Amino acid sequence: MKAEFTKQMRKALLELKEEILYTLAQESDEFRELIEDKDPKDLVDIATDDIDKRMLEILENQDIKRLNLIEAALSRIENERYGFCMKCSAKIPEDRLKAIPYATLCLPCKSKEERKNR
């Protein structure tokens, strides 16, 4: 993999990481506010708050998963394994990495995995 491309991807991964950490911090504040709000409410308000809490938890879990994938990608950059498929060791195309900088699989392996999981 070209050093310049890897440098660009490292920068993109660090920016994504920063964005996710910022989002998690904001969501945590919003989540805390929802929990701490103890005014008397009718059933509709309680149900709405419950849905809001669950949505924040789902979004937070997705962000944490992406954060872990980003950390793993940064580690692969350090170990000079970035851009190689974790299953078959083939090079992952640069266009795929530009779209998903933390991609771990080449397109054929990702397609196989998706078909298997259906």
Q: What is the pLDDT of residues 20-35, one digit of tens each?
A: 888 877 766 665 565 5
Domain containing 80 — which CATH number? 1.20.120.910
CA distance 7 to 10: 5
pLDDT-flagged residues of the chain (< 50): 43
CA distance 70 to 72: 5
Q: Which domain holds residue 16?
A: 3-116
- Per-residue model confidence (pLDDT) at position 47: 54
The three-point CA angle 114-84-17 to 5° equals 80
Number of domains observed in the structure of the chain: 1
